[in-house]
Structure 1
């Protein structure tokens, strides 16, 4: 390391009582060989750092210990401020425990359910705030639905359709069907919750993935990379994971269903939360964004092949998501029937 970098590093590590012997630079993470063992020093932006420190402290206070341990400084701080950046220190986890991806993600979802359950908290929300969210999203979705309808009508009037226009017309029925389902679930969510003044929040990890779930030598899994943590709905952890996982060739993602069922078995997901999850999950936002971009790109600058590939990939995502939604919806229907049957038997 350069002398000024070494001096800066010593300044950051001093509050921990750590003396570095050798440093491996891995971008925002530095592997520190020191007088206190092998450590990881990570840099985070000041904008996200405040939430990170607050939420990690809260989880520790709640007794949640499945986070890669974050070492406090000698005076009890969980991060060090230095030159407009925050730094935190933790052990360097080897992550050498080998396990297939299916089982690893199953453990990840079980642990995520525990994280959400232990940090669950009811907060008061103004009815006007819920109404504003409903009206704003509904208005935007109606405009997008009108755009899709107008564009398909314009395509059908063409004598010769471009490759993109042709494939869009073929996909239009499935896209509009997904949009209607999403809107239906969103309306049901609002009708069910419009008079509620409470909402459940949890500490959201922010970017769950198998890469951010490490194992120690005993095979215990730990979350790390909590920089994007915030307080919000549990669906804010589920949706990004599903979007990334389902972005592939068309496939029946039964393993994804098992991961979700593992999660739902360990956390009591409310009826309105499930409806909102299905609504957001079903909405074909990525397909719509591709169509909009095509429409607003001048004809002379359109690359038909690239646009066709893009809409095809996002349509595959829509169809993979559709399978997951159908399975979850069926699971919810069976659960409701079972509850009604049990209630009928007890009367």
Structure 2
């Protein structure tokens, strides 16, 4: 069965007649008697819960979403041959700017979506405390592991190349972990008495691949299959982390992207503390060391060492971004304090 024959019974539910089909992975570009459409195939286990989040965002006034079309009988997905399919317009998605500008627009749209869907929800103080204590306990265990592994490496007369590299990287890893812990503690001290927390509709799989342009050059978010209500961190942290997984560099672009977001959707002080805590946490390189430590028998020393080095690059790239954020936030705080002092002096003179 060719693609056209496979698509025909699905498209029929939309009162469309397919003329030609092009495959693009999980998306098929379908030329029909009424225009060009994108037909997306997903696992039936996903379900169509994400449609509820799309509809909610539309109701709130956010329309920069690639729409999902209903069938003639009102369904938003078709179950066919043990897979779900849903239909969208096909956007040309022509490149009209460089990589950084595309990211700027993506972060701005993400901020708008988060702001429109933002709401305060009650939170159990015991649950907050439990989350804090579990996270802190986990990070302290990681600290113990790092110190123990470091001692073991240093005691060896002939450490392996991986162990030699770990010895060189140890101080940077430990410093990042301690920074994360300190920010987490600051966050908890500021919020332990609060009874509410902010939540938004998160996209769940943010990337420039899911930010498409129409023929007028307007950007739209697509692929909401993992959308849910959660902290905005669940959108921001993954996309920043992916952008930092590269050769060593000082990614000032990443800082600009984040502050483009914050211009339209600013964090509270406590939210920034928790965000920098999570961003700085060196989980990937700790996992690389743990995997090496727990692997018995034959080890591919070269592959493990290459993997460790890549995680170290990520650590240092992230460190630069975190330090820049910390510097900017301190400058903003100093400016506020100076403005407050100036206002107080003016009031005293009056």
TM-score (norm 2): 0.93
Whether the 8 Å contact between 2:48 and 2:77 is mirrored in structure 1 is: no
* Alignment match, 2:198: 200
What is the root-mean-square deviation of aligned Cα atoms in Å?
Answer: 1.7
What is the aligned partner in structure 1 of residue 333 from structure 2?
A: 336
SS of alignment partner, residue 46 of structure 1: coil
Farther-moved stretch of structure 1 (163-172 vs 79-88)? 79-88
Aligned match for 1:293, one of 283, 286, 291? 291
- Unaligned 5+ residue runs, structure 2? 345-350
Deviation per CA, 1:131-190: give whole Å up to 9, x if none.
Answer: 111111111111111011001011111111111111101110010000000000011111
TM-score (norm 1): 0.94
Q: Distance in 1 between matches of 2:158 and 2:25?
A: 51
* Per-residue Cα deviation, 1:90-144 (whole angstroms, up to 9, x for no partner): 1111112421111111111111111111111111111121111111111111111
In structure 2, C-alpha distance between the alignment counterparts of 1:328 and 1:216, rounded to whole Å: 34
Q: Aligned partners of 2:107 and 2:152: how far apart in 1?
A: 45
Of 141, 146, 149, 1:148 maps to: 146
Residue 261 of structure 1: aligned partner: 259
Partners of 2:177 and 2:282 within 8 A in 1: yes
Between the aligned partners of 2:232 and 2:245, the Cα distance in structure 1 is 21
Q: 1:135 to 1:50 in 2, by over 3 A?
A: farther
Deviates more, 1:188-197 or 1:145-154: 188-197
CA contact (8 A) 1:290 1:310 kept: yes
Aligned partner of 1:20 in structure 2 is 18
> 1:179 corresponds to which residue?
177
2: CA distance, partners of 1:194 / 1:307? 41
Give distance in 2, aligned partners of 1:187 and 1:206: 27
Give yes or no for contact 1:201–1:231 (8 Å, CA) kept in 2. yes
Quick check: 2:204–2:228 contact (8 Å CA) kept in 1?
Answer: yes
Which of residues 59, 65, 69 is equivalent to 1:61? 59
The unaligned stretches of length 5 or more in structure 1 are none
Give the match's secondary structure for 1:301: coil
Match of 2:104 in 1: 106
Contact 2:282 2:315 in 1 (8 A): yes
Distance (Å, rounded) in 1 between the aligned partners of 2:54 and 2:78: 14
